[in-house]
Structure 1
Amino acid sequence: MVRTKPPGLIYHPIYSQLELPFKHRYPIGKYQALYQALLELGVPANQFTCSEIVSTELLLSVHQTFYAEQLISGQLDAKAMRRIGFPWSEQLVTRSLTSVGGTVQTVQLALQQGLALHLSGGYHHAFAGEGSGFCLFNDLAVAARYALTQGVEKVLIFDCDVHQGDGTAAIFTDEHAVVTASLHGEKNFPARKQQSSWDLGLPTACTDEEYLVAVRQSLDYLLCIHQPDLVIYDAGIDIHQQDNLGLLHISTAGVAERDWYVLSECHKRGIPVAAVIGGGYQRDIDSLTQIHLQLFYAAFKISGVSLPNTNSWFHALRT
């Protein structure tokens, strides 16, 4: 499959428009910073698709009605909100529903043109009936369920966030059309892991070399055995050595090589990829943005579209 146009890009300014308590650990400004960085790299504003709020029907194809209604109306109890990690607000709910809709649109574009990237997403700790770890609703699960309604017979959710995709695993326990794969820090959150279709717990302080071997072997095996019609890729960068919550020791070069390998291997096989940026918790937003950009550099290179300034992207050339 030869790509002759840039990857689809999905974004909404609401992603960074959330007021959080002082010194809250969630880097809410990273979405706006990433969007601005892509504009400065020469991506025209009209190339971005503005995400829309997910439909109620699609949301409830994954989440329990009672939970969704309680959360959206602000009636979820305080303990459940503490587990999520955000104070409730209408702004929080609208932002979350828009992000879920954005990941669905990312799948739509990926199925149409082969590759699409969402400047948000990866809320994999949300279960059908409860939220957790900064995740209200599970956009990966909703988007996978949507894909199945569009004639896709098998979806691979390839989750490389440092935290196990426990909510995603639990949601699809009995859904054989969705393969859940999680490569995560074994000693990191959540303490109680769920059983994915494929789990690989990585040791604390894992280095580039052992991490990239794990990614390559896992992806090669999963693509060969399951032959998915779509890959939903969670390109979390909380694996990075400078991440506040990561505990692994992966360099920016390692992140770049991972992203290049995942996208290029799927490209070789003609498998559409819908990617989300996932986690990343450095307090330095500028540094965080540069690491998230590795996914976009790889996607544009695979698409055969040049950006005016890609001199900083040299890492994936080593693969």
Structure 2
Amino acid sequence: MIRIAYSDRYLLNLPGDHKFPIQKYALIKDQLLYEGTITEDNLYDAGICTDEQVLAVHTEEYWYKVKNLLLNEHEIRRIGLPLNQRLVERSLSSSCGTLKAADYALDNKISFNIAGGTHHAFTYKGEGFCVLNDMAIAACWLMKTQGVKRILIIDLDVHQGNGTAEIFRNEPNVFTFSMHGKDNYPLKKEVSDLDIALPSYMNDDAYLSILAEQLPKLFDSHKPDFVFYQAGVDVLATDKLGKLSLTRQGCRKRDELVFDYCLKLRIPVAVTMGGGYSERMADIVEAHCNTFRTAFAMLE
């Protein structure tokens, strides 16, 4: 059974005009249940991460300031979300969702977190709606407790996974791959193990051709025994912040390519949602739901 982490802690009360579409998480869950792609049995609440799990990735100074609500105005503005106890709990819950999804993927091939993908969180700072780096926390957990030796992070959000790149820049057992918009946030890019910066307004065919060329090289060169897949849907042409021109069908084909390699090589994969900022919430939810539908169809 494909297990899917979800918690009402993922939700925040934000102003109606806020850029971060926090309500999408509940809508994704509700849509998948309504259409019968999943049942309540697929869902679970992972709980929250421990200090030890957080501190395997983030500095003591940064984590102390976050959990005690001591970030200054500049640091809060850089994250882009109001700092309060609810945000701290949400960050711990979302990170634990990815950690538990990784555990489940070891036995079930593919597992999901309906949130996660907070790849702009560095060891020592947060930014871009990201407080804690959930994939990094989960990757460190796998290597420490589950005997996982080599991890590949496939980050296909439209924004570079700059925080993830910084966290693992000196870790040879974690390969960071980010395929993102060249002219998009963050203005200053970090150096991943492999970065592919795409020109603005790239369409389905060009995007999928590059991805199809790179995936076999990644698996052949790094030989991972676990994959994290950041499946942001801000690559869509409808996205307000994306600057790429993929259709929903192209986005779904992207997911299919990633899952096909993982399944063919029998490498477990934990999937996180990442970004999505289309004008219509329906476009965001539908594209995210396609990632789940694709995985379920390929495992039938």
TM-score interval (norm. to shorter) = over 0.9
Equivalent pair of 2:165/2:191 in contact (CA under 8 Å): yes
Secondary structure, aligned partner of 2:159:
coil
1:239 to 235, 238, 247: 235
Q: Does 1:81 align with 2:76?
A: yes
Paired residue type of 1:37: Q
Do structure 1's residue 36 and structure 2's residue 30 form an aligned pair? yes
Per-residue deviation, 1:283: 3.6
Deviant stretches of 4+, over 3 Å: none
> What is the CA–CA distance in structure 1 between the aligned matches of 2:57 and 2:204, rounded to whole Å?
35
Q: 2:235·2:246 contact (CA, 8 Å) conserved in 1? A: yes
For structure 1, list consecutive stretches of 5 or more residues without a partner in the other structure.
Answer: 1-5, 305-319
Cα distance in 1 between the residues matched to 2:157 and 2:296: 22
Partner of 2:110: 115
Query: What SS class does the counterpart of residue 5 from structure 2 fall into?
Result: strand
Give 2:61's aligned residue: 66
1:46 aligns with 2:77: no
- Contact (CA 8 Å) 2:181, 2:197: kept in 1 or not? yes
Alignment pair present for 1:228 and 2:203: no
TM-score after normalising by structure 2:
0.98
Residue matched to 1:297: 293
Deviations 1:177-232 (A, max 9, x none): 10000000000000000000010000000110110011111211100111100000
- Count residues in correspondence: 298
Q: How far apart, CA to CA, are the structure 1 residues paired with 2:42 and 2:105?
A: 14
Gaps of 5+ in 2: none
Task: Establish whether residue 15 from structure 1 lines up as the match of residue 7 from structure 2.
Answer: no
1:220-274 CA distance string (max 9 Å, x none): 1100111100000000100000011100000001001000110011100111010
User: 2:136 matched to which residue of 1?
Assistant: 141
**RMSD of the alignment, in Å?**
0.9
- In the alignment, what sits opposite 1:211? 207
- 2:55 and 2:81 map into 1 onto residues whose CA distance is 22
8 Å CA contact 2:238, 2:279 repeated in 1: no
Q: Is the 8 A contact 2:56 2:140 kept in 1?
A: yes
| AA aligned opposite 2:122 | F
Deviation string for 1:111-155 (max 9, x for gaps)? Answer: 121110110110000000000000001001111111111111100
Identity over aligned residues, as a percent?
Answer: 38
Q: CA deviation at 1:15?
A: 1.2
Residue from 162, 166, 171 that aligns with 1:175: 171
Matched residue type, 2:92: L
